Copies of this chain bind each other. A is one copy, B any other.
């Protein structure tokens, strides 16, 4: 079963759901967010967002290009990077620095750290719930006088699914 509520619960590792629902919910939410902020979710941007959301695995910019071409858009790097920058600035996607790849944000309306679990087996990535994590980070850094402005947490490992499959 799959409700809008859990479309945003970061459970990308559970692949046994109708992911099209997630994608549609994310697009709807993105449209609202853009309207609220006076930004335009143009066709290229919307397509890029859809393509990224369709994948549970972070996608590289150059993986998107052929799909843009297929949809009749210009498929030169600047096109996709511009869309990615826009989506990132609005908090609709995150960049996974260790992979040079991008993935949809599961709760773009609230400010939160960039924190992901990435499965080495299925390559899926899911956002980490970060209320407690954030305070642990602040405490650790604050003890050394460091004031955090932006977090990036990327945890590599095995998701539950792949762990069970490996047994």
Contact = CB atoms under 8 A, between A and B. Distances in A.
Nearest to A135: B136
- Which of A10, A11, A129, A133 has most chain B Cβ within 10 Å? A133
A46 to B, nearest CB: 27
A128 B136 CA distance: 12
- Which of A148, A151, A153, A158 has most chain B Cβ within 10 Å? A153
B153 A137 contact: yes
Nearest to A100: B97
Interface in A82-105: 97-98
A133 B144 contact: no
Contact of A98 (B130, B136, B152): B152
A35 interface: no
Contact of A152 (B13, B130, B156): B156
Q: What is the predominant secondary structure among interface residues of chain A facing chain B?
A: mixed
A54 B51 CA distance: 44
Interface in A114-162: 117, 119-120, 126, 128-130, 132-133, 136-137, 139-141, 143-160
A150 B160 CA distance: 16
Contacts of A130: 140
29 contacts: A10-B144, A13-B146, A97-B97, A97-B98, A97-B154, A117-B144, A117-B148, A119-B146, A120-B149, A126-B144, A129-B140, A132-B136, A132-B140, A133-B136, A133-B137, A136-B137, A137-B153, A137-B155, A145-B160, A146-B159, A147-B163, A148-B155, A148-B156, A149-B156, A149-B157, A149-B158, A151-B156, A152-B152, A153-B154
